[in-house]
Amino acid sequence: MPRECITIQAGQCGNQIGCKFWESALREHAAAAGNQGAVFDDALSSFFRNVDTRYKPPREIKPRGGNTPILSLKARAVLIDMEEGVVNQLLKGQLSDLFDKKQYITDNSGSGNNWAQGHEFYGPKYSESILEKIRHEAESCESLQSFFMLHSLGGGTGSGVGTYILELLDDNYPKVYRFCTSIFPSAEDDHVVTSPYNSLLSTAKLAEHADCVLPVENQALIDIIRKRESLDARLEAGQRLPSSITSKGSKAIQGKSFDQMNGIAANLLLHLTSSMRFEGPLNVDLNEITTNLVPYPRLHFLVSSIAPLSTSGRLVQRPQSINQIFTEVLSRDNQLMKASPSSYTYLACAFLMRGNFCTITDLNQNVSRIQQRLHMVHWNTEGFKTGLCHQPPLDSPLSLLCLANNTCIGSRFASMKESFSKLYKRKVYVHHYTEYMDPGVFEDSCCQVDDLIAEYAALEVLRPPDTVQRLKSVLSNI
């Protein structure tokens, strides 16, 4: 039976990532079909509808799955942006045939980088239209499994309208999983002055209404691109490469590099959903992600890393062995958040491999090898989930995705709260928000984020070595 997913792209960033995702997904399915010819099966139906806009198909051709001929593909997606530029470009580009007017909503004034304007004005304004378009996609599904939200937290539409849609999904489709790929603004170099407000207000809603959040930080993507560019430049110049390459700032990241950043975020989704779309000896369903990696409902923020890293089809580094891939995926350079999970406590961890040159035995051996290096919470020391999909990505024979529920994310929330407090204490631009919402929303959101930080901190101090050390100290003073 098909397990369909509906992708909801909110705001400029969400639609740009969505564009890269659909482009790469089509290429992957075409590569998997090879010379056998493309057919519409259950795997392809996870993210696409098989339709024919020219004439009604014969009765013997089933509209969904079942290895039927492809008539015309439509993405299972809803596109939303309060500035019409990015969506219009998408509808006029190479992927225009994937979408029709029943799948998108645009405005022409934008949300002004204001969460409140997006959440309290544009969200209610387009509420019925949004639900109608989501319902249209849902009715074409045989077994709707999940919604994927693609959005950023720094602007107005992705953060405000995006989290408003998340609330609508929670109310109207409570039994369907809600996954979010949320782009966090750079803490080091952010050109949107109000992004600390938008990020904190959005995070409070994500904690309440999402089932699973895959945070991706802009600065981490920037560093990955800068390191690749530095590596390429040195290789072209024939220089000896240093043991480590560092980079700071994002002023040089523009144009094609932004496209590559979006490609990395899209690759995260491609890898996560590969087991839904292709065969493998150890497939992992999306519901298994939440079941195995989310021990507490609110603590559903998963830190992701990929090895080898790729940007729009180009490898940053090519691994030599499966062992090396496992080593690299735990490196800070491969994290899609500016965090260091190895220095904190793991609540649970998943390793999802793609490629023909890996076996279940290889996976288990490497998990056992690295298990001693990771600080697992004492009540879940065997909390590892593994998956293996035989279909490799487009740019590498092997690829590994690590999803970690780790207390390190609490430090990122603490930094977010600090940035928010610096602005809020001086009431910078607060009046723009109180035009649309009650000032108490700021306080409520602060309390929710404080609770998140406290919950992660409480789990961090429960590490057995720390507990034993404190007990020894107490006993020595008796």
For 374-385, how does the pLDDT look when each residue is reduced to its tens digit (9 = 90+)?
Answer: 999 999 999 999
pLDDT confidence band for 312 (50 / 70 / 90): low
> Residue 260 above 80 pLDDT?
yes
Global pTM value: 0.88
Is residue 197 in a domain? no
Residue 445 counted as domain residue? yes
Query: Would you say residue 220 lies in a domain?
Result: no
| Distant-in-sequence contacts of 122-126, Cβ < 8 A, 24+ apart | 122/82, 122/157, 122/160, 122/161, 122/164, 123/160, 123/161, 123/164, 123/165, 124/164, 126/80, 126/161
- What is the C-alpha separation between 59 and 258, in angstroms, rounded? 46
**End-to-end Cα separation, the chain, in angstroms:** 65
- Rounded CA-CA distance 231/155 in Å is 32
Half-sphere exposure of 281 (CA within 13 A, CB side): 10
Handedness of CA 111, 116, 119, 120 (dihedral sign): negative
Average pLDDT of the residues in 439-461: 95
What pLDDT is stored for residue 329 in this prediction? 94
State both tokens at 166: 């998340």
E-strand ranges in 278-383 read 303-307, 310-311, 314-315, 346-354
pLDDT in tens, 402-436: 999 999 999 999 999 999 999 999 999 999 999 99
In a domain, residue 467? The reply is: yes
Mean pLDDT in residue range 254-280: 86
In angstroms, the CA 314 to CA 309 distance is 8
Do 81 and 17 meet the contact criterion of CB atoms below 8 Å apart? no
- Judge whether residue 14 has pLDDT over 90: yes
Residue 377 lies in a domain: no
Q: Is 109 inside any structural domain?
A: no
> Would residue 11 be called left, alpha or beta, if left means φ above 0 and alpha means ψ between -120 and 50 degrees?
left
**pLDDT of 64 over the 70 cut:** no
Total count of domains within the chain:
1
430 lies in a domain? yes
Instruction: With a cut of 60, say whether residue 471 has pLDDT above it.
Output: no
Give bridge partners of residue 282 from the DSSP assignment. 388
In the predicted model, is pLDDT for residue 87 greater than 70?
Answer: yes
What percentage of residues in the chain have a pLDDT greater than 90? 62
* The pLDDT of residue 319: 55
* Residues 210-240: tens digit of each pLDDT: 999 999 999 999 998 888 777 666 555 655 4
Burial of 81 (0-12, 13-18, 19+ CB in 10 A): buried
The pLDDT, as a whole number, for residue 354 is 94
More confident residue, 69 or 165: 165
Bigger pLDDT: 53 vs 313: 53
- At residue 191 the predicted structure's pLDDT band, cuts being 50, 70 and 90, is confident
Q: How many other C-beta atoms are found inside a 10 Å radius of the C-beta of residue 171?
A: 10
- Domain assignment of residue 459, given as a range: 413-476
Of 195, 162, 196, residue with least CA distance to 181? 162
Question: What mean pLDDT is reported for the chain?
Answer: 86
Q: Is the pLDDT of residue 472 over 50?
A: no
Residue 469 lies in a domain: yes
Helix (H, G, I), strand (E, B) or coil at 241: coil
